[in-house]
Structure 1
């Protein structure tokens, strides 16, 4: 064997030996553990009782009707805001309306059944229909529920007074008319938090 071959073989043997030594000395302790984790979303469940707030007939200008109902949080998450959307249709019995009947129905939101003279907010059905839900929350539900909103399991009374406004003028166009009112209550969660 020539010297080049001997040196090559020697070098390869040395590299193999170092590799075996390094591989043999690379030992470590190890351990592992498995965790089981769950992410479950909560629920928002706003209920209103009763679901029919008002059903009256044979009303005349000057009449008023007080109705109260409960907002209930039946979910697993606190409700931060309640938004109210108002919609209605007027059934014009004689086809002679020149005005919106909803402009003649005044709505007063009151604090509770014990303080019927304390008005939170006063408007007409027509104005309420044109209000954005955030504005309704600001004027009605925020003063009623405050910063705390509606916590899980809580209920809060909402008292509403409807007035058929007697404006002292001829309101004959509304004889026999009716209004079908739909209120849609939308609950929103509280702000997220670090837990």
Structure 2
């Protein structure tokens, strides 16, 4: 089974994101696996007029939120089912588009530059950093923002589609790896789970140097 087929099978079985959160908002950004938990998009600074790329965009909900705030966005996901769902839900939102592609292939082929690159439980977690990070950096201007989240090392057993794929890194490792590949001002944090849950989320932000 190919990578795309594996993730497509996983995508088809996932639960769709709800249409309204606890605050009554129809779009929002969620860095963690828990609803209504963790920081919001202010980590990125203002996104007005900025070009945003999300690698592993899933149903498109996080990217749609940033576009609703004034960004333009491109979501890339390896699973065709993800693009279908994202287009059905957000296809009429101006300034937002989705594409089915493997992240490294897309970055290697595109000529576009992106002010912000996101990976929320996405490609940064599943692709060898020494391969992916140079490609990301090559598509960002000086001062561009890379932000990503994933489970901390050992945080949870991977699902079948993820087995053997995850590139878990501790905070110190991410700071070193990102610096080696052209990023600075690296901040890492571990977001504790909400009450009654046990799994935290690692959140990393860096600037293109």
Give the TM bin, normalised by the shorter chain: under 0.3
Q: Which one has the bigger helix percentage?
A: 2
TM-score (norm 2): 0.22
Q: Which one has the bigger strand percentage?
A: 1
Structure with more contact order per residue of length (Cα contacts < 8 Å, sep ≥ 6)? 1
**Larger Rg computed on CA atoms:** 1
TM-score (norm 1): 0.23
